[in-house]
Amino acid sequence: MHSRIPLGRLIGFWALNFVLLYVASFFLFALSRATANPLVGAVTQLAAPLFYFFFGWLYFRKAGLANWEWRFVAMIVWLVCSLLASAFLIKPVYGYEWTLAIHVNVLKGQGLNMAALIAAAYAAHTKKAMSANVADIETLEGPKF
């Protein structure tokens, strides 16, 4: 591994993602319980992967991570921070024990979030690779008259 993770950037994007997602999830969950509308339930389930993809893409597009090993390390740090923060907040917010924040079903959900982060890293990486290829082609074509 020849790169370093910009830790301040990682924690900043993770915190922004976590806070906005936690607030949105809280209100979406309350809305789905109050209305029993299946559409609101579906939006509630899709919110986390969409947030992870969006903030992951924002993070990875300028993170400067040289290889996929460091991107996976950043993804794992992101998910572990999310699990720990959720476990810390579950008692004061919902009144449940912290052990309910870390179990098999939550880990399955984090697998979907990991897939969203992988897709975000790939999308951010692909855009950079495509823009580099366009510059190479323009250089090879020579001046345009």
For the chain, which residues make up each domain, given as ranges?
7-141
pTM of the entire structure? 0.79
Quick one: which of 73, 83, 79, 29 has its CA closest to 55? 79
What length is written for the chain?
A: 145
Q: Region 5-20: what's the mean pLDDT?
A: 90
First to last CA, the chain: 45
User: Token pair of 143, please?
Assistant: 């001046």
Split at pLDDT 50, 70, 90, the class of 16 is very high
Residues 46-90 pLDDT 10s: 999 999 999 999 998 887 776 888 889 899 999 999 999 999 998
**pLDDT at residue 134 is higher than 80:** no
Split at pLDDT 50, 70, 90, the class of 114 is very high
